[in-house]
Amino acid sequence: MSRYRGPRLRITRRLGTLPGFTNKQSKKKDRPGQHGKSNDGNSKKVTEYGLRLEEKQKLKFNYGITENQLFSYVKEARRRKGVTGLILLQLLEMRLDTICFTLGFAPTIAAARQLVNHGHITINGEVLSIPSFQCRINDIVGIKQKSSSKNLVEENLKTTRFTDIASHLSFDKSKNEAKVLNYCSRDDILLKLDELLVIEYYSRR
């Protein structure tokens, strides 16, 4: 199943704010569709399955991953010791494209993925063009020593929406590089969702 490439505001109207999906805001408040109702209204009855499905869709669209990729992350989270929901979020937050977005190198995760694909980002001094690469503790995320790469990232840093860097990262502005200090905490995650419902959604598989 390919990644979604359709209208983005239509998705945010249905699922709510998705920081990594788009930085635009829709003027419309109703859910998409002929009989759409306001996200804040209680006129539409949502089933338990529908509620879990929407939470799963939030993860999928926000991080720009496919259904198969998300299911693989869920299976990996189940294998590891600890709280499965938090581990799932940590796995997604440790992706290279997500870290680039969190640092402000790109306005969205999709833009960060393109940045990595085009070879503008380095890990420990080596250019890496795999957006799904799982960063490890003590990895150094930097920018390729090329004027086009530096200018592109520096322009994005000027217009970043986030003033505070997440606690699991340390950012050196003079070098425009960051160090991964630890796995992220639940408070560092910008996306608002109930990850337990996502785990419950996949419990039937």
The pLDDT tens digits for 20-42 are 888 777 777 777 665 555 555 54
Looking at domain 95-182, its CATH superfamily turns out to be RNA-binding S4 domain (3.10.290.10)
pLDDT recorded at residue 36: 56
Q: What is the mean pLDDT of the chain?
A: 86
pLDDT band at 140 (very low <50, low <70, confident <90, very high): very high
pLDDT recorded at residue 95: 95
pLDDT recorded at residue 1: 45
Residue by residue, what is the 3-state secondary structure of the chain?
A: CCCCCCCHHHHHHHHCCCCCCCCCCCCCCECCCCCCCECCCCCCCCCHHHHHHHHHHHHHHHHCCCHHHHHHHHHHHHHCCCCHHHHHHHHHHCEHHHHHHHHCCCCCHHHHHHHHHCCCEEECCEECCCCCCECCCCCEEEECCCHHHHHHHHHHHHCCCCCCCCCCEEEECCCCEEEECCCCCHHHCCCCCCHHHHHHHHCCC
Where along the chain do its domains lie?
8-91+190-202, 95-182
pLDDT recorded at residue 80: 93
Higher pLDDT, 160 or 81: 81
Higher pLDDT, 40 or 111: 111
The pLDDT tens digits for 152-201 are 988 888 877 666 788 899 988 888 889 999 999 988 888 889 999 999 99
pLDDT recorded at residue 93: 93
pLDDT band at 142 (very low <50, low <70, confident <90, very high): very high
pTM for the full model?
0.86
Compute CA 167 distance to the chain's CA centroid, rounded to the nearest angstrom.
Answer: 16
For the domain spanning 8-91+190-202, the CATH number is: 1.10.1050.10
Q: With 80 as the cut, is the pLDDT of residue 96 above it?
A: yes
* Across 120-146, average pLDDT: 93
Question: 170, 100, 98: which is closest to 138 by C-alpha?
Answer: 170
